[in-house]
Structure 1
Amino acid sequence: MFFGKTARTGRQKQEYSEDGARYVAGCVPVDKHGKRILLVSSSKNEGEWVLPKGGWENDESEEEAAARETWEEAGAVGKITAHLGEYDHKLNKRTGVPDSIFIFFELEVQRLEDKWPEMKKRERRWFSFEEARAIASKKVMRKAIEQCSLAYE
């Protein structure tokens, strides 16, 4: 799979559910040998660590979107090895409709590139499974981390 040198921007190609929830695809990037997970610094909230993720666009599969976002945000390239689930995010209490639906996959990292699209916006850092689960800033991300293969070792 080829990824561009720049990150995709805009929401004109975004996928949405019938209820209007935005689909977000992402990865839990793992190093199985080192038993660690790669997180990136949040671009919106300083000091927060997140899984690489972003909008699923209509010209790609969920897996392609997740792998692309992991490349753009973390410079990580690898092989998707598992579907980790779908998670509603920010449920509207009045309608019961989520703002977003996060779809996560496990990506076995094969290499980290020295240059990647968001390298000037984000820091990337390896964490142990326990550290990643504790530090991930969103509940949906912690749930995905708890489903990855490192949780069962």
Structure 2
Amino acid sequence: MLRNNSYPTVARTGREKQVYEKGCIRQVAGCVPINRKTGKILLITRRKKEGGWVLPKGGWENDESERDAAARETYEEAGAKGRLTSFIGVWNHHSVDEKTGLPKANFLFFEMDVDNLEEIWPEMDERDRQWFAYEDALKALIKPFMREVVKKCSLAPSNIQNNKPGLSILKKIGENRKEISIWQFSIVIIILVIFIWYLTIKCNNGLDFPS
């Protein structure tokens, strides 16, 4: 993860250090920046085209890890700093290279818990940023695959439901009860086997059972 003093003062440009998979698939890293307390997602406007909200993302370069690339791009484009808490997944670019038949890019997305929004950041004059509630973020995002990314983040209703403490405890209790039942059943089987073995020995020795 990038240290606070290692964040760039200007956005990186060019693709001299760009990481490619299989020699032609550009690797792009980005984040779903969230505020866990408010349940909101930070989106930014596109730089090259007017209108429309997107997630911060950009090229992964060969002097950094994919996590560092995601954190750097999120800072450069949105001015957000925070902790990458999970890897959400990889999405292929919808466009395919005619020569190779492979997607032009892979998008690797992480979830970031935003700790701070800088007042001054590299692309502040090129983009706007805004917090959106989960459902509003889905409506605002102009790229379908980014909506799929957001649906996989921890603020998605299905994930929130699964992560509720009460439900987690009940799930663990259920799992523990299942383990106990299996253990008890195993003990009963072992006792029966020992008893049958004991009866067999008694019969073979022609001994009477005690009254």
Superposition TM-score tier, normalisation by shorter sequence = over 0.9
1:4 counterpart = 2:8: yes
1:106 counterpart = 2:111: yes
Separation (CA, whole Å) in 2 of partners of 1:70 and 1:101? 17
Q: CA RMSD in A?
A: 1.2
Partner of 1:46: 50
* Larger Rg over CA atoms: 2
Separation (CA, whole Å) in 2 of partners of 1:97 and 1:134? 29
Q: CA deviation at 1:46?
A: 0.9
SS in 2 for 1:126: strand
Separation (CA, whole Å) in 2 of partners of 1:139 and 1:14? 25
Partner of 2:83: 79
SS in 2 for 1:98: coil
Higher strand share: 1
SS in 2 for 1:5: coil
127-136 or 75-84, which deviates more = 127-136
Q: CA deviation at 1:136?
A: 1.1
TM-score, reference length from structure 2:
0.70
135-144 or 10-19, which deviates more = 135-144
> Residues 80-100 of structure 1, C-alpha deviation per residue, up to 9 Å, x if partnerless?
001010000123275531011
Identity of aligned residues (%): 50
Out of 56, 61, 68, the residue aligned to residue 64 of structure 1 is: 68
Partner of 1:33: 37
134-143 or 3-12, which deviates more = 134-143
SS in 2 for 1:87: strand
Structure 1 unaligned blocks of 5 or more = none
Out of 131, 134, 143, the residue aligned to residue 148 of structure 2 is: 143
1:117 counterpart = 2:128: no
C-alpha change, 1:19 and 1:90, in structure 2 (3 Å) is farther
Higher helix share: 2
> Residues 50-89 of structure 1, C-alpha deviation per residue, up to 9 Å, x if partnerless?
1000000000000000000000000000000010100001
- Tell me which amino acid in the other structure corresponds to 1:42: R
Larger RCO: 1 or 2 (CA < 8 Å, sep 6+): 1
Work out whether residues 102 and 140 of structure 1, in 8 Å CA contact, stay in contact via their aligned partners in 2. Answer: no
- Tell me which amino acid in the other structure corresponds to 1:124: R
Work out whether residues 19 and 97 of structure 1, in 8 Å CA contact, stay in contact via their aligned partners in 2. Answer: no
Separation (CA, whole Å) in 1 of partners of 2:130 and 2:63? 30
SS in 2 for 1:13: coil
SS in 2 for 1:65: helix
- Tell me which amino acid in the other structure corresponds to 1:31: N
Which structure 1 residue ranges, 4+ long, deviate > 4 Å from structure 2? none
